[in-house]
Chain A
Amino acid sequence: MTLRKSKPEILHALAERVRSLEQGHRADPGQHISSSCAALDRLLPQAAFRRSSLVEFLAAGRGSGASTLALILARQAAAEGGAVVVLDHDCSFYPPAAAALGIDLENLMVLRPTHARDHAWAFDQALRCTAVATAVCSPGKWSDATLRRLQLAAESGAAVGLLLRPEVARREPLWADVRLLVSPLPSDVRDRVSKVPGVGTQEGRRGSASAYEKRWLLRRRLRVELLRMRGGAAGGVVELELDETTGELHESLAPQTSHVHLASALAAAAPRRRSTGA
């Protein structure tokens, strides 16, 4: 037996050291949070979100679903206890929607700072508190120094800091662990009906397209792309479906390739889809 390590072993040990230096001093396996969807977890390093870190969600346009995804993650983070802190600087946060997603309003704290300079300070304080499970905020034009300070605050506490930013922030330097871009996907009836599982079985007996259409209509589609990551390879893409009645995330069963939509075909051929509201 030789005491000298082989080259691959040395390289592996060095890579581990570099990774641990890049990711900070913690490698505690008990501090991981799953997003409740295995497909999304697979995108991430160590297959889960990490506590005491920042996560950025970039929203591709308005009404994209980024905040919904962030709150689902917040729900998972607070499942084991701890408060959820939401910074609502423009008073547009709507708690009934958060409650419908599964967030316990007893543990929800909403902060409404009036001055911009208090915004970052309040987020910092929330991240440092060990009783907070997750803090959500939409940062404005914060400087690198502020973001670095927030990163250190997250590392000193036990909370996951969720930052909701517009898509233009993808060019900025990364101070979070993970940067995800969330884009909405249009729902396509024809494609979905043919690919719904169990078409020929129990569900099929109940009726033809209307039952499948209803099942599809209750799912919202999102596309999540891992833009950047600290100490890992980026670039994974996953398509998710959000079940609108239960608030659960599933991987979309559609193929990963992007759909080719013919706008004229949709406009002309697709019937007016209407369902009775809630």
Chain B
Amino acid sequence: MCIWLPRWPLQRLAAARPELKDRAVLIYEAAPRGGLKVVDYSPKLAAAEENDECGVMNDERSLAISNSTTLGHEGKQNAVGSRQRAKGAGIGGCGSRELEIADSAHHSSFGVHRLHVIRPGMPLAEAVALAEWEREREESGSGGRGSGVGDEAARGARREASKKIGRHCRSSPLVSRLSSLPLQPLHLELDDPVADRLALEDLAQWCQRFSPSVGVESGERRESLLLDITGLGRLAGGEAALAAEVSKAFQARGLTAHIAIADTIGTAWAVTRFQVGVMEQGSGIRGQGSGSRGQGSGDETIVPPGQSLAAIRGLPVEALRLAPEAVTLLSELGIRAIGQVAALGRSTLASRFGPQVLERLDQATGVTQETIGARKLLPELELSWDFEYPTTRREPIELALEKLIARLARDLEEECKGAIQIECQFRSETSAPLAVEVGLFRPSAVVRHLMDLIRLRLERLRLVEPVSSVRVAIRATGTLEFQQQQLFASAQNCQSPRQLAALVDRLSSRLGREAVVRPWLLADAQPEQACQYTPLAGSASQRPRQRVRQTRDNKVRNTLGACDRPLRLWPQPVPLEVVAVAPDGPPVQFRFESREERILCTWGPERIETGWWRSRCVRRDYYRVETARGSRFWLFRRLQDGRWFLQGEFE
């Protein structure tokens, strides 16, 4: 069985950040040669999950576009309830060479196809401008037009936008209109393939309830889960019933999934992504029995055994999981469908297109074996303790916790592992269970240390209802580090990493994980954004250096002098009344905390113009000033309106 989660980065974002459900989201990444490129876009994140991405290639040129696309190269149709896939007809893509992602959710009832001319690989600035233009157009009610007009208008907007976006946020009609939009601003998210992969692996772990052998597909963009359900159909009452159960489970989690059951991985993968609709010779793909027609919720398809080649014959060649160069070569020769590939001789394929095409074809038809890289079933590190009489007293609860932790720690030590994240759940008869999470800086299997941390958290917990059972689960583990003891070394040297880890654990337990942080410098000109904090304790897999471009300290020291930036920076600049001699000149006097401060010296201006890719652009002239008393402050004048603000003090 292959479960495909279309537009997985957007779905993962929707699941992880439910507050973004109603916002337009654009995912971007840093291109290898510099610049920022779009990965995926959705005008409404919640709707992105319902988008049916199984479109048909309508433009061979789309295939050669950057590898970082997810689904953008498929022309899409409105598909709620219906499963038509016209071959590029009907949508404004007809006749057009543009690559479009169509959004189905809003206007499906009107049968109108809305298009967004935002394609993966597009520069970020252009995409942001187009997205804002789209939303404005939608707001002004012109969104119901037919596709052809929309397409031309989109092209016009793109030309206009690319003219305007070239400089940093000059005031222009477009920019001023953008700032007056009442809708929530477009949310930009940096592409995080590592987080996507981890989330997918967690999902694979969760899918082990359906099959003991679950793997994630290999490849650059992983969006599918592969399950081995040999012989499991009978347990669920038939393969169709199993597929329906899986589909319902995914729906309950709020994810959109397309499911296909087939003999081979290749066939299942192909069928989930490129389902046959109105194309030629689809031979009985739709499942036998009733369960396979998803009623608007993910679709399930079952390929009868032994009919793999027949099932994929009509699908395009991309369904074979080939490299883009091979696909381009085949399309140049006019070979669009897998049936045509299969019709060529084996020797022809091997000699002309390399071994990969033949290998993939064999894997899809079942001639060659392909294995699923299944994950090992992790042992459940979870124990619970039931009390005979529900209690609110701390001592029996702590005693029970200690016993459970001792047993779990023994299991961990046998594998030389330590706990990094522990969850304790207190269940009572009447109210909802209370959960307490403890994160550690370094893996530890010492019972006393773990109990200390749990006790610190328990002190803050108010047990309203009597607790009837306690459950302890270890969510994340890491390998224990062993350090050889030195006989004559000073006590401080060999103990200090452990001591520091213990301090971090204690502080994080009581103050909260987000209160014990380490700063990382970012290469950002805007002072407020030049630094990011990451928590020290917690899951080891969430260590930084993924999204943060860290500048080394000595680099900072070379570019910034010791007193170029103030030690105290207000997160929100404080407005000031400043007297300046010239309108663009340095300040002479200012009023702060009901005191007049006369300025003797100024250093500056330091002009910082940045942030045009965020919702607000920052254009400021910074001045370091020294007052008559000798105090030093950091002021800036906002260039848009000439107002003065106090940003920080050189304390």
Contact = CB atoms under 8 A, between A and B. Distances in A.
A109 B626 contact: no
Interface in A262-278: 263, 266-267, 270, 272-275, 277-278
Interface string B212-246: 00000000000000000000000000000000000
A187 interface: yes
A278 B561 contact: yes
Contact of A96 (B530, B568, B633): B530
B510 A118 contact: yes
A112 B599 CA distance: 33
A41 interface: no
B149 interface: no
Interface string B549-567: 0000100110011111111
A112 B571 CA distance: 14
Contacts of A218: 561
B420 interface: no
Contacts of B435: none
Contacts of B600: 186-187, 266, 270, 273
A277 B510 contact: no
B76 interface: no
A59 interface: yes
B562 A247 contact: yes
Given A81-B496, A96-B565, A114 B511 contact: yes
Interface string B491-508: 111011101101110110
Nearest to B647: A94
A113 B517 CA distance: 11
A253 B415 CA distance: 65
A217 B561 CA distance: 13
B138 interface: no
B568 A104 contact: no
Contact of A242 (B562, B571, B631): B562
A142 interface: no
Contacts of B519: 95, 105, 108, 110
Contacts of B387: none
B517 A112 contact: yes
A108 B515 CA distance: 14
Q: Is the interface of B mostly helix, strand, loop or mixed?
A: mixed
- Pick the most buried of A66, A130, A247, A270: most chain B CB atoms within 10 A of its CB: A130
Contacts of A92: 568-571, 648
B650 interface: yes
B562 A100 contact: yes
Interface string A164-205: 100000000000000000011111000000000000000000
A106, A111, A247 pick with most chain B CB within 10 angstroms: A111
A267 B628 CA distance: 10
For the residues of A in contact with B, the DSSP-based class is mixed
A257 interface: no
A11 interface: no
A76 interface: no
B512 interface: yes
B520 interface: yes
Contact of A100 (B520, B557, B570, B571): B557
Interface string B590-621: 00110000101111111000000000000000
Given A63-B631, A64-B631, A67-B651, A111 B565 contact: no
**Best-surrounded residue of B605, B624, B632, B651 (most CB of chain A within 10 A):** B651
Contact of B630 (A109, A183, A246, A278): A183
Given A110-B533, A131-B500, A242-B563, A277 B606 contact: yes
A118 to B, nearest CB: 6
Interface string B618-643: 00001110111111110000000000
Interface residues of A, number: 71
A196 to B, nearest CB: 17
A71 B567 contact: yes
A100 B557 CA distance: 5
Interface in A223-273: 242-247, 263, 266-267, 270, 272-273
A158 interface: yes
Interface in A133-173: 158, 164
A71 B564 CA distance: 15
Interface string B154-189: 000000000000000000000000000000000000
Interface string A58-70: 0101111111100
Interface stretch (A1-9, A20-28, A121-129): A121-129
A65 B503 contact: no
A232 B491 CA distance: 32
Nearest to A220: B563
B518 interface: yes
A228 B560 CA distance: 35
A92 B570 CA distance: 5
Contacts of B556: 96, 99-100
A71 B626 CA distance: 21
Contacts of B533: 110
Contacts of B565: 94, 96-97, 100
A39 B624 CA distance: 28
Contact of B503 (A110, A126, A220, A278): A126
B628 A263 contact: yes
Interface string B574-600: 000000000000100000110000101
B536 interface: yes
B632 A277 contact: no
A132 B500 contact: yes
7 contacts: A64-B631, A82-B496, A94-B531, A100-B564, A109-B536, A131-B496, A184-B630
